[in-house]
Structure 1
Amino acid sequence: MGLLNIRNLTVRFATSAGSFTAVDGIDVTVDKGEVLAIVGESGSGKSVSMLAAMGLLPDIATITADEMTFDGKDLLRMTPRQRRSIIGREITMIFQEPIASLNPSFTTGYQIEEVLRYNAGLSRRAARARALELFQQVGIPEPEEKLRSYPHQMSGGQCQRVMIAMAIATNPRLLIADEPTTALDVTIQKQILDLLMKLQEQTGMALILITHDMGVVAETADRVQVQYKGKKMEEADVLTLFEAPSHPYTRALLSALPEHATGDRLSTVGSFLEPEVQQ
């Protein structure tokens, strides 16, 4: 049994214009110490499926699943108090926009110290010392000064390092990274990915990496899950997926990469999909 097991997950949203299904019968499993990449274009249900597991979707979402367990514990039948003992402690998440995820009214030091005091039960003095240690661990320059800085006084890459520090503060067993490099330039993207992989190797935590970047997948993942329009299209180890993709959508994703371009134009995903996949 994997560390996280989700079977037949469906998420529907009710809106004023009617309801729609964002995730349709998806299975997700990640083992201890494994790096799982969930890939697909925007709207494929990647983030929603993980937010459902975290219990972070709004009230307009209806979540159903045959199974949703973490280390054998049933997340579906837990009380809110029991869920809080796991979410934010044993399972943590890094969100897409680092600056938007931090509160602009408080210093970064205050925010990470609050995480440590609430989720790790540390005193104010111990939380400050641990925050400084975490800032050093994730490579934030002048960490003592940055603890006193507000998010707008830091670069996007530094804010993402703050978010990573907050996510690993409680030594989680599973870290979910949702497009962690989207808002960053190419040089900083590599630094952040290298940092995540270094932390994963050092701590042995499982990592779920949500991305649309197949290059990132090739460099980081052990196993890959491909999603399209809320459904799982394919799942394979990373080498098999790149060398012998079995699903038309996966082949379309790979064929649309710039390095696979022929002639003057890039291929589009839609041009490779079979009619039944597009429907």
Structure 2
Amino acid sequence: MPLLEIENLTVEFETRSGLFRAVDRISLTVNPREIVAIVGESGSGKSVAMLAVMGLLPKTARVTADRMTFEGRDLLKLTSSERRRIIGKDVAMIFQEPMTSLNPCFTVGFQLGESLATHLGLGRAERKRRSIELLAQVGIPEPESRLAAFPHQLSGGMSQRVMIAIAIACSPKLLIADEPTTALDVTIQAQILDLLVSLRDKTGMGLVLITHDMGVVAETSERVVVQYAGQQVEEATTRALFADPHHPYTSALLAALPERARERRLPSIPGMVPGQFDRPPGCLFAPRCDFAFEACRTTPPVRARADLGFALCHTPLVGGRPTPQNLPKGVTFAEPGKVSA
């Protein structure tokens, strides 16, 4: 049985000018021992979708889904007390902003011990021993003395490691890591990623990794979901996605990697992710796409099957270019961005 199953999750926020759809019918399955990466630009709905799973969105959010379950239990129908027994213990999250996620009024030791007392029922001595062990695991020097520190006394990287320690304290079955290595230097990044992978190997937990770092994706994940403007535009195994991306957005993301750049100047994707008031009627990526033609601008695309996944595109790429059999009659591409008919 999958740990997490999501079908057609939609998240909308009430604003003064109407509803804004931040997450648009995404689906995701995470199995035990599996590492799934979610990538995309800021504003693509990665964090919002996972906060919906955790039940941590504000009251202004409207969350709907055909299915959203953890180990077969419907997360949308849980009572508050039932959710509290799962969230933080079986399902945990490493938040993106450690400086605002830690409570400034309480010490590191108190915040670590709170989770251990609530979910595992540990006594004071056991909580202290386990807290020291957790801080040492995430690479914090002199862990015993850090228990008495307040969040403002820690650096950004140190706060991030405390957040990771809190998230893994109860050995969760599913861990959602939202940019877990953002504030860390390269050495500590590798250490934390190794720790998460080793925890997966020891406990069999599933891991959802939200990141902008395609290098982390390549080294750590087994499957990748690419999001754009709230939609899932591609899903594939990591190996297949890096070898032959099928959506133009995925291809553009990979082309911007320094190790893939063919010129001194790194390529970039022109334009911006559409917001509430400038969403095109067709493909949301069409205004920024080198391969867009008239149907892309007027008609929403449907999922096309790709290698062990899908691409949300009228003409999925093969080998970096649209294939002739996928193109409308009379449309050809002499060069990227130059459409002839």
Give the Cα separation in 1 of the matches to 2:204 and 2:18: 43
Q: State the shift of 1:249 in Å.
A: 1.2
Q: Give the Cα–Cα distance (whole angstroms) in 2 for the partners of residues 3 and 164 of structure 1.
A: 21
**Aligned residue for 2:82?**
82
After superposition, the Cα gap between the structure-2 partners of 1:91 and 1:273, relative to the gap in structure 1 and judged at 3 Å, is farther
The equivalences for 1:34-53 within 5 A come to: 34-53=34-53
Q: What's the secondary structure of 2:99's corresponding residue?
A: helix
CA contact (8 A) 2:164 2:180 kept: no
Equivalent runs, 1:194-205 vs 2, <5 Å: 194-205=194-205
- Deviation, 1:18, is 2.3
Measured after TM superposition, the shift of residue 190 of structure 1 is: 2.8
Could you give the per-residue CA deviations for residues 15-62 of structure 1, whole angstroms, max 9, x where no partner exists? 123221000000011000100000111111100100001000000000
Greater RCO structure (CA 8 Å; 6+ sep): 1
Q: Partner residue of 2:220?
A: 220
**Residues 98, 159 of structure 1: 8 Å contact kept:** yes
One-letter amino acid of the counterpart of residue 210, structure 1: I
Q: Which runs of 5+ in 1 are unaligned?
A: none
Q: Residue 26 of structure 2 aligns with which residue? A: 26
TM-score, normalising length: structure 1: 0.94
For the residue of structure 2 that corresponds to 1:209, the secondary structure is strand
What CA distance in whole angstroms lies between the structure 1 residues aligned with 2:262 and 2:291?
A: 20
What is the correspondence of 1:91-240 to structure 2 with a 5 Å cutoff?
91-240=91-240
Structure exhibiting the larger radius of gyration computed from Cα positions: 2
CA distance in 2 between partners of 1:245 and 1:254 (Å): 8
Change (3 A) 1:156 1:188: farther
Q: Distance in 2 between matches of 1:83 and 1:115?
A: 14
CA contact (8 A) 2:139 2:188 kept: no
Moved more, 204-213 or 178-187: 178-187
Residue 37 of structure 2 contacts residue 225 of structure 2 at CA under 8 Å; is this kept in 1? yes
Structure 2: how far apart are the matches of 1:245 and 1:266? 19
Match of 2:248 in 1: 248
Task: Give every structure 1 segment of 4 or more consecutive aligned residues whose post-TM-superposition deviation is greater than 6 Å.
Answer: none
Cα distance between partner residues in 2 of 1:274 and 1:95: 36
For the residues of structure 2 that align with 1:104 and 1:46, how far apart are their CA atoms? Answer: 27
Aligned-CA RMSD value: 1.8
Residue-pair matches, total:
279
